[in-house]
Structure 1
Amino acid sequence: MKWFCAYDIAGQPRSLENVLCLNFEWLVGLALVCLMFGCLAEGTPLGTALLNALDRVTTRIRTDTELLVRATVGFFFVSLWGLGNVILTPELTTDVAWIPWLQLGLAACLIWRRTMPLTGLGIVFLFSSATAQYGVFHLADYPVFLGVALYLILRGLEIEPFGIRPLDIVRWTAAVTLMWASVEKWAYPQWTDPLIAAKPSMTMGASPELFMQAAGVIEFTLAFALIWTPLVRRTAALILAGVFISAVFEFGKIDAIGHSGIIVVLLGIAADDVRAKVRVRHAVMAPAWYAASLGVFLLLYYLGHAALFGGLSELPVI
C-alpha cells in the first residue's frame, strides 16, 4: 500500500474494538477451517499424492533455487540502481549519491558464489540505514530482507548454524513480514481508499471495508501457513506467489521490482521437498497456534505503535 498511496505511520490506527468485529471473526473462522482441512489432508493418500505432484512439477526450481535467488536479487538491485534514489523498497528514498552505486555493486557480487556474503552484508547495511532514517516501526514491514541477507551469507559460506537450513530462515522471515503487513491492512484500511477508487474491480463487489478485512485475514492465514506442515506451507507459498505475480499485471514495473525478492523466495519454499511426519495434533493445535500468532502480532503492532508514537498512556483497550 505504501508504494502507491499516501500513508502516515504516526497516524492513529483503527481501534481494536473496530477491527475485531463480527465480520472479522467469521473470516478468521473460515480461514481456520481451510487450515485444518489442509492439515488433515496431509497425512492421507491425497496429501501424499499432492506432495508427489509438487515434487515433480517443481524439480527444476528446487535444483536451481540458489541460482534463481541470486539472479532475481541481482535484477532487483540493478533495477534499484536504475531508479536512482531508492533504498530497498520504492517508498524508502535517499539523497545519498553513492547508495545506488552500492546497490549496483551488490548485484555484481552475486555473480560469484564466494562474494555472495558481501551482498548479504550489504543488505543488512542498507536495512540498518533505512531503519535509522525511517524508524524501526516502518522497517518492521520488511524483515524478509534480513532473511534474504542471511540466506546469501550462509549459502555463500556453505554453513548451516545449529543445523538450520538457510531456506528455513528466509521462510520464517517471509512469514513474519506478511503477518505484520496483514495487521497493517486492518489498522489502516483507509490508506487503500484512493487505490480502490481508481480500481474498483479490486473489491470483486464487496465493500471496501470488507475487502480489506478479508485481504488481511487471507494474507495472515497464508503467512501463518508458511511456518506449518510441508503440504500446507508449500500450497500457501504457491498461492502467495500467484497473488504477487498477478498483481504485477495490475500495478506495473514498480510492483514487479519491489516484490521480485519475495516471489522467488516463495517459489523456493513451494519447491522444498523436505517432508515431516504429520500427526492429528498438527490439525488439532492449528487453531490454538493461529490464535496465539494473531494475538501476538496484534499486540506487537498496537502496543509498539502506542509506545513509539502515542506514548504509553495511550495504549489501546483490548
Structure 2
Amino acid sequence: MPRSKNKRLSVVGALGLSGLFTLAAPSAAQAHVKWFCAYDVAGQPQGLEQVLCLDFEWLTGLALACLMFGCLAEGTPLGGALLNALDRVTARIRTDTELLVRATLGFFLVSLWELGGIILTPELKTDVAWIPWLQLAMAACLIWRRTMPITGLGLVFLFSFATAQYGLFHLADYPIFLGIAVYLIAQGLGFKPFDIRSLDLVRWTAAITLMWASIEKWAYPDWTAPLIAAKPQMTMGATPELFMQAAGVIEFTLAFALIWTPLVRRTSAIILAAIFVSAIFEFGKVDAIGHSGIIVVLLAIAADDVRVPVRARQALLAPAYYGAALAAFLFLYYVGHAALFGGLSELPVI
C-alpha cells in the first residue's frame, strides 16, 4: 500500500479513536457553527457521493468497534464496577437533577432577556419587543415547581414561533427544547407521559438533536471553514475535509450512544458534556449561554442510575441499529432538504 495511503488511514484512525475514547475531539468542532459563521440553510448540501467515501467507512467502522466494545464491557464485572463508581460520583447531581435543570434554564432565559432580540438560540434573531420579556417571565416561573409547566408551554410556543419565522428545517436543529419543555411540564404536574420517564424523553431529544447536527457537518463542511482557518491546529494535521468527516462521525456516534445501554450512554454523556464545556473556553459567553441547556441535560443523563440487563446480543445488534439510524438521518436530511428547497428531482444519486 502506498505510503501516502498508509498515512491517510493512520490519520483517520487517530481522529476516530481520539474522539471516541478521549476528550481530544477539538472543541471548535462542537461549537454551533450557525452562531459564529455565515450559513445558508437553503444552499445545496454536499452530495452523498462525497460524504459516503472510503474515509467515512473507516471512521464508521472504528466508531462501531468502540460502541461494541463498550457494550461487551458493560456486561462484565468491570462494567458493573464502573457503574457503581459513576453512581457514587454523581449522587449529588442525581438528587438535585430537577433543581439543576431549573437553575440552568433560568440562567439561560435571563441571559436571552439581557441580550435581547433572540428566540431561544443566538442565530434566531427577532425584532419583536415582547419576546425578551416573555423569556424573563418564563425564567421567573422556574422559581416555583407549580409554575414550571408554564415555562414548558412557553418553550413550546417559542419553538413554534421560531419555526414560523425560520422554517421547520432550521428548527430541526433544536428538538431538545421540546424535550426540556415536556420535562418541565411532567415534573411540575407530577405525571409520566405515555408511562415514560421525563428524563428519558429529554435524553432521546438530545440524541436526535446531536445526530441531526452531525449530518450538517457532512452536508455543509464549508460553513466551518472560517473557524478552521482561524484555528488550523484543531485539525490535528488532517485536511479540513477529513476533519469534518471525523467530527461528524464522532458526534453521531456519541449521540447514538445516548440511546443505548446505561454505561455506554452515561460515558457518552460525560464525554459530550466535557467537550461542550471546553468549547466555552474557546468561544466565550455566547457558547456558554447557547449550550447551557444541553450541558445540564447531559449531566443529568450521566447521573441517571437506572440499569437494565445487558446481553451480548446488544453488542452484536449495535451495528444494525447504528446503521439504521445513520441511514434514517441521512435520508431525512437530504430528502427533507430537497423537498423544501430544491425539489425532489434534485435528490442526490450515488
Same fold (TM over 0.5): yes
SS at match of 1:91: strand
Q: Shift in Å at residue 162 of structure 1?
A: 2.8
Output the CA distance in 1 between the equivalents of 2:233 and 2:122.
25
2:133 matched to 1:101? yes
2:265 matched to 1:262? no
Pairing partner for 2:94 from 52, 56, 62: 62
How many residue pairs get matched?
318
Output the CA distance in 1 between the equivalents of 2:227 and 2:129.
32
SS at match of 1:274: coil
Provide the residue aligned with 2:119 in structure 1: 87
Pairing partner for 2:271 from 233, 239, 242: 239
Structure 2: tracts of 5 or more residues without a match: 1-32
Output the CA distance in 2 between the equivalents of 1:260 and 1:226.
18
SS at match of 1:2: helix
Output the CA distance in 2 between the equivalents of 1:152 and 1:265.
12
Pairing partner for 2:244 from 212, 217, 221: 212
Provide the residue aligned with 2:28 in structure 1: none
Provide the residue aligned with 2:15 in structure 1: none
Output the CA distance in 1 between the equivalents of 2:143 and 2:232.
43
Identity of aligned residues (%): 81
2:215 matched to 1:183? yes
Pairing partner for 2:285 from 253, 259, 268: 253
Aligned-partner residue type, residue 205 of structure 1? G
The normalised TM-score by structure 2 is 0.90
Provide the residue aligned with 1:138 in structure 2: 170
Output the CA distance in 1 between the equivalents of 2:41 and 2:195.
38
Q: Shift in Å at residue 267 of structure 1?
A: 0.2
In the TM superposition, what whole-angstrom CA distance separates every residue of 1:129-154 from its partner, at most 9, and x where no partner exists? 00000000000000000000000000
Output the CA distance in 1 between the equivalents of 2:247 and 2:334.
19
Provide the residue aligned with 1:158 in structure 2: 190
SS at match of 2:173: coil
Q: Shift in Å at residue 263 of structure 1?
A: 0.1
Q: Shift in Å at residue 227 of structure 1?
A: 0.3
Output the CA distance in 2 between the equivalents of 1:204 and 1:106.
43
Provide the residue aligned with 2:256 in structure 1: 224
The normalised TM-score by structure 1 is 0.99
SS at match of 2:271: helix
Output the CA distance in 2 between the equivalents of 1:317 and 1:276.
42
Provide the residue aligned with 2:10 in structure 1: none
Output the CA distance in 1 between the equivalents of 2:85 and 2:159.
38
Q: Shift in Å at residue 161 of structure 1?
A: 2.1
Aligned-partner residue type, residue 71 of structure 2? C
Give the 4+ runs in structure 1 shifted more than 4 A. none
Aligned-partner residue type, residue 127 of structure 2? D
2:320 matched to 1:295? no
Structure 1: tracts of 5 or more residues without a match: none
